[in-house]
Structure 1
Amino acid sequence: MSFKTGSTQIDGSINIDGSIFQWQQLFSGGGGGGGTGDVAWGSGNVGSNNQLITALGDGSIAAEPNLTYDLSLFSVNGDVSIGSNIYMTGGKILYLSGSTGQIKYVSDELNLIGNNIHLNAATNIILEPFAGRVNILSDVSISSDLTVSSDIINPGMPNASTNYTVYFDTTTKKLSYADAPSGGDVDISTLSIESYVNTSTYYDSSIRYRTMPEPSTGFGSGNGAEGLFVNFKAANTISSYYCGYIDTGGRIALADADASNMMPAVAINTTGSSLSAGTNYNLLIYGVVRNTAWNFAIGQPVYVGLSGEVTTTMPSSAPDCVQVIGRTVSPDSIIFNPSPDFVVLK
């Protein structure tokens, strides 16, 4: 055995097998008085209080049971208790990773990545940026109340503005949020939801009925109907814009002005196609109807025809039935308001 250091201090024992059993401290350095230096080995253990740090022979070390270091990655498999701050300098990245997600902080940006991210708070979750906005890039589902102390703005809308109005789009039949359209059936001063009938209902419980600028009902081009609808089950075939009565089975059947047992008419088929027996339909019982196939004189009473059609020609032969079902407001439009009574001609 030989020693080639400047000085050697051994407070323990030197064993015959070449090992050194260190009781207190092992110093390796120049100058004979200890100091700084290296303790190097190809493989083996350094132990203290029965905890071993093992040299694995490839430059890496492992401590039992949880600590490893392979010159690039410091890995701890158990719990880590940190009594002070962790600082990452020089643009380094801190990852807290799992199998499907991670927390990543780099360049003053914090990313939460995962299949599901849960923020659970006993009282409030507060999103309060120092400057700028809280930006949401996709859909948000909220199962409880949402309180917003400032504006909600959708920058994807043209001229995004907090003055936008929520309104009902009569084409898509959905609520929309944008510059409120002028005129029509939309109240641009408050939230207005146009119903499927001929009114618009407001938060103050007021009702505004559809206007009818002469000589049309304001439907624009094409057929249409607005008013009160009731769901009926059809008893037989009723053609489009023909009238129906309630049969003894409680179903809607084709009305017929030359048979008193098939009167009075209570509804009109405005679905745009014929009704099929046994199928349910929403039929108009009161409202405004436009059918471009009609060509009536304006302001005339309308009746149920001998085949259930709408006509301005009053039935005139016995035992025909006379029932007024409305009045014309334009050549192709009527107010459908059927009388509950009818007269049988003698």
Structure 2
Amino acid sequence: MEILLEEFYKQDLHAPQYIERRYQIDDRSCQINGISQSGKSALIKHTLLQRKKSSYLYIDCNDLRIDFEALNSTLTRFCNQNDISTVALDNYNDAVALPKIRQLIIASVDHYDYDELLTIRLYPLEYEGFLAFEPRYDESALNHFFQLGGFPAMHRIPSEERIRHIQRSLQYALTPTGFDIMLLSCSLVTQKVSAYMLYERLKSSRKISKDMLYKNVDTLARQGYIHLLGKFDHPRAVKKLYHCDTSVKNALSTQKHFGRLFENMVFLEMFKKEFTLYYDEGIDFYIPAQDRIVLCMPFGNREALFKQIEKIEAFIITNGIKKVEVVTMSNESTLQHPFVPVEMIPFSIWALTEGEEESHEDEHF
């Protein structure tokens, strides 16, 4: 194991064309959690490359040459002998015992309950983060966001290889059952979906038990490959399903449904800002802490909006809603309504200002 650790210690790291993300790592120990392709490895390597090469050790725990028992008995001693102050364990799993080191950085899809480690939750890029990767910011940026989604690597991959890259990444990261669920979910994005419904659809094409299906759905939701949005004040009601990134549906399905893709995109902007969201009948998103409703109408007009507001007037009055925002592709308008201010906002403006008043400054770890 000493020989392999020496190889890891001498290797040169690379983080080509790295663009700063919302989070930065300081000198505290932390764990970085996020789905495959969310940028965990790039963040770690970029952080380490700002330091003296002899001060850190980077280990990819997926390296098949690693004997974990030997690693556990050797790692702390190796670090002490070489005066290594930072150890980064990428693709971490709990077969690796945490070494006694001044700073430890681990990265994994799964979260581990280590009280001594701060947690950074890394998601695919939100729209504002995506713009940092764009060569110029103009009206084509939003269309580019629709095409590429939020995976940072998409900007470096040739256009003809992007679909296969996402497909391969998901196949590698997920169990066969988990991948089948992702395939099936492409026709159900933004729809009300129960685990039993997924089971009924999958059992006709493959042998699967309810327990196995439910376990995989829970894992996909816990890791962040899918998101399940509950109905307000009805915790047992069926939930709405959203993907981790808008590129997933296009990579796994030929079905086109712009309205659903747009709603998924709006959801992710708020989810990544850690708002507590719910849906209700006729209401895409309700944020109780802000007494705010967000509706998705990419090509909506004033007449259609008035009809929609009429349907949810009872909810607006009962719950004391102070503002209704209607996210569109390009329409911008303010409507006069007797009960609540209603504003139509283009996504490209809404996404850049969403949460400005509620969010704190960018977090640094």
- Do both share a fold (TM > 0.5)? no
Q: TM-score band, normalised by the shorter chain? A: under 0.3
Specify which structure has the higher proportion of helix.
Answer: 2
TM-score between the two structures when normalised by the length of structure 1: 0.25
**Higher RCO structure (Cα 8 Å, ≥6 apart):** 2
Specify which structure has the higher proportion of strand.
Answer: 1
TM-score between the two structures when normalised by the length of structure 2: 0.24
| Structure number, greater radius of gyration | 1
